[in-house]
């Protein structure tokens, strides 16, 4: 009987100690780590901040058409670690001749571009991107900037500093680095 009582008490205590925090709270951790909660169980999009990014967005840059699609996934994460509400992004790039240069629309959610978190201003959301040229450091963060509810979105790519494992002297990243792509919601 004591064992049953102990098991019920443990489940009850664990349930009430589970901490859910908002995306806004976690975004403030960047600028003020003292505000970060200790080991939250779930980082939830309480106020629907991610919703304004959901959908298909198109734009052009340097003669190429960029088509992004973002979906919202809830409670994503590995077992035993903090779960998050995130955006999952996919991208198709078509050149001026109609040739598709990059397309990850057929990738699973786990293999697509995964959202990371908001910047403290809550107007910029980061999504991890990895392109075709892995050995040439073709990965980094997409900065999604959408300060209002309009049908416009700005995206720019910042390449992460990493080890280059091949000759990359004439290689360009899949998405141009440090250039803004202006997109319109479709």
Q: What are phi and psi of 2, to 5 degrees?
A: -60, -40
DSSP β-ladder status, 42-44 and 83-94: parallel
Query: Taking the alpha carbons of 130, 131, 132, 133 in that order, is the dihedral positive or negative?
Result: negative
- Whole-number pLDDT of residue 163: 65
- Any residues with CB less than 8 A from the CB of 121 and at least 6 apart, and which? none
Strand partners, 139: 130
What digits encode the pLDDT tens for the residues 61-75? Answer: 999 999 999 999 999
- What radius of gyration do the chain's Cα atoms show? 20
Contact between residue 100 and residue 141 where contact means Cβ atoms under 8 Å apart: no
What digits encode the pLDDT tens for the residues 10-30? Answer: 344 344 456 999 999 999 987
- Whole-number pLDDT of residue 162: 67
Contact between residue 70 and residue 30 where contact means Cβ atoms under 8 Å apart: no
* H-state helical runs in the chain: 2-17, 23-28
pTM confidence score: 0.84
Structure tokens at 84: 């998050």
Q: What is the mean pLDDT of each run of 10 residues along the chain (186 residues)?
A: 42 55 91 88 95 97 97 88 95 97 94 92 93 83 87 94 73 91 96
């Amino acid at each position: 009987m004591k064992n049953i009582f102990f098991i019920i008490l443990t489940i009850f205590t664990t349930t009430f100690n589970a901490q859910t925090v908002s995306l806004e709270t976690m975004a403030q951790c960047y600028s003020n780590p003292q505000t970060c909660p200790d080991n939250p169980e779930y980082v939830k999009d309480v106020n629907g901040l991610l919703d304004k990014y959901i959908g298909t967005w198109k734009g052009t840059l340097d003669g190429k058409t960029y088509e992004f699609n973002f979906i919202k996934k809830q409670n994503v994460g590995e077992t035993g670690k903090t779960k998050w509400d995130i955006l999952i992004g996919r991208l198709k790039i078509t050149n001026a001749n109609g040739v598709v240069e990059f397309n990850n629309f057929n990738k699973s959610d786990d293999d697509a571009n995964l959202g990371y978190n908001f910047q403290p201003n809550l107007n910029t959301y980061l999504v991890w991107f990895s392109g075709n040229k892995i050995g040439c450091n073709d990965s980094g963060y997409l900065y999604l900037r959408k300060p209002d509810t309009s049908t416009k979105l700005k995206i720019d790519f910042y390449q992460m500093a990493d080890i280059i494992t091949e000759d990359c002297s004439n290689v360009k990243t899949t998405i141009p680095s440090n250039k803004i792509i202006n997109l319109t919601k479709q």
